[in-house]
Amino acid sequence: MSADTVTAACPAFDAADTTAPVTSVGEPLPVLGSEVTVPLVTGGNVGYAALDYAASAPALQRVWDDVAAYAPYYGSVHRGAGYLSQLSTELFEQARATVTEFLGCRPDDQLVFTRSTTDSLNLLAAALPEGCHVYVFETEHHASLLPWTAHTVHYLDAPRSPEQAVATLREALAARPDRTPALVCVTGASNVTGELWPVRELAAVAHESNARIVLDAAQLAPHHPVDVAALDVDWVAFSGHKLYAPFGSGVLAGRADWLRAAEPYLAGGGASRKVARRADGGVEVEWHLTAARHEAGSPNVIGAYAIASACKALTEAGFATLVARENHLIDKVRTGLADVPEVRVLSLFGEAAPRVGVLSFVVEGWNSSHFAAALSAEYGIGVRDGLFCAHPLLRTLLGAEDEAPGECGAPEAAPGERALNAVRVSFGAGTPDEHVDRFVDAVRELVRDGARWNYRTEDGRCVPDRGAGDRGAAATAEA
C-alpha cells in the first residue's frame, strides 16, 4: 500500500502537511483540558491551571484530532491481509519513520516503540552484553537509576556544575577494567531542577573511553530539539505522555547491534520470524533482527501514531519559538519566587544554569505537601509535591532541612525526614501566561497570609478538611 493511499484514507497522517494553522509567536499551543474548571474549597469554580507537565503533559489538540481521524481505520498490524490492517501497518511504520527523523537518528539506527521511558531503559538493560559496567549519576530519575542492577553499577555523586559532571565521569571511566563493555546513562534535563545537562560533552568522554551512552530525554524532548547524531549519543529514550501524546507509548532509538544480539525483550508473536518443532520435542525459534525483535505482541498503533503526530506538531510550531516562549515563562516564575524570601529554589548547577520549564522549591514554615494541597484547593493550581521519583537527588538537595512545621504532610516518614519533600512546578508549550501569573500570586499570598482552609493527612496525602471548613470563618465565629 502506498503512502498516497494512506494519506487519502486517513488525511491526518500527511507527512508533508503544512496546512495546519501556525501558532502566533507568544501563544501557547492548543491542548486538551484548557477549558476545564475545578471547584475551590472557598467557593466557586476556576479554570484549572495544569502546572505538572513534568509528570504528564496534556495532549495537544492536534494530536487528539489526528488520533480521532485514524480511529475508524483501526486494524491489526503486520499480519493482516485486509485493507484496514494494511493501512494500520503503513501508518505504524510511517510513525516510526517520522519519529526517527524527529530524533535525527543515524541511517543504521533502530527505533523500537515501547510503553514509556521506564520500559525503554529496562529493554536496553536487558540487552546489555555480559560483564557490562553501567555508570549513572545519583541525580537520575528512578527510571534511569534502577534498571541496571543485573550488571555492575557505578553510582556517581551529584555534580555541582556541568564541568564537574564531565570530570567525574572521566575519572570513573578511567578506573574501569580494560576492554570491559560500559554504558553511561544520563538525563538531558533534570526532572527535579529542570537544569540542562552537558550531554554532548558527556558523550565525548564516554566514547573516548570506548563506552556507550544512553540519553534519558523524557524531560528534554518536549522542550528542546533532540538530535541523536549531533549529540553523538548511542541511544535515546522518552515517553509519549510527556511529549503531548496520550499515555501508553514510548521510544528507544539508537544503535542496533546490542539490540539485535540480545534475547527478545518479550517472547511472542511478531518478534519471531520462524518457529518449528525440533526432533527432541522442543521448539526452535528464529527471531527478527529488526525493531520487531523487541515489539512482540500486537503493537500500540495509536500510541505510536500519537507520538508521531506530536513530533510533527512540535516541529511545525518551531522549537525556536517554543523555547523562546518557555524561557519567558521561566523568567516569570523565577522572578516571582525570588521576591519571596521564604522560598528556596532547588538547584545543582546554580541560579544561572539554563533549564527547561521545571522548577522545584521548598517554603520555610511549610511542609511541601501542605503547600501543594493549598495551591490546588484554594487556587485551582495543579503542581507536584514529594520526591519526584528521584529520591537520592532530593536527599542531596534538601540535606538536613529543619523539620517542617506544616499542619499536615508525611506523618509516616521517619523522624528527621518529614521535611524531605518539595514542590515542583512545571509547564510547557500549552501553558498560558495566566496560569503562571496565578501561581506566582498564590505563592505570595500563601506565604504572607497562610492557608484559608484547614487541612489533614489522609492516606499519606494532605487534603482539605471538609469538616473543619474555612479557617477565616471559624476564627470570626470564635471571636
Helix (H) or strand (E) holding 303: helix 301-317
Q: What is the three-class DSSP state of 430?
A: coil
Q: Of 298, 318, 296, 105, whose CA–CA distance to 217 is shortest?
A: 105
State the alpha helices, DSSP H only, in 103-213: 117-127, 142-145, 162-174, 199-208
Catalytic residue among 185, 311, 389, 408: 389
Contact 320, 223 (CB under 8 A): no
10 Å CB burial of residue 318 (0-12, 13-18, 19+) is middle
Give the Cα separation of 431 and 53 in Å (integer). Answer: 9
132 noted as active-site residue: no
Q: Of 349, 351, 315, 310, whose CA–CA distance to 330 is shortest?
A: 351
C-alpha cell at 91: 501508518
Distances (CA, A) of 221 to 66, 111, 254, 374: 20, 15, 15, 31
10 Å CB burial of residue 186 (0-12, 13-18, 19+) is buried
Helix (H) or strand (E) holding 296: none
Instruction: Please give the positions annotated as active site.
Output: 389
